[in-house]
Amino acid sequence: MAEGSEAERVAEARARITETPAAAAIARRGAGDAVFLDVRELPEWNLFRIPGAVHVPLGTLAAAARAAVPRDRDVIVYCNAGSRSVLATDQLRAMGFTRVSSLSGGVRAWLDAGGELED
């Protein structure tokens, strides 16, 4: 990834990935046809999460992705507001994952759209 500010890195990554709007992600969860990957840090995960999500913090993604992220299912990556998930999605695509997208607006947008959370 190129040097620059966090905002610049996110903007560059966003141009290379697909984003899933919150309402579509809620429908996908309801249908059970996607895996949700939470890339927030452990204290954030411990507060709340999308039910059934897999947790791999962004900082450990490179080491843990091959074991924790399925290649045979669609994966929707999320964080708090959507920036870390954009970077994680870009990183996963660079690692050869093809069925991956970022939850646009993160878990905040999920909640605003009526999505369920668990403690």
> Looking at the annotation, which residues are catalytic?
79
Q: How far is CA 106 from CA 3, 25, 56, 96, 102, in A?
A: 24, 10, 15, 23, 8
Q: How far is CA 39 from CA 31, 52, in A?
A: 22, 14
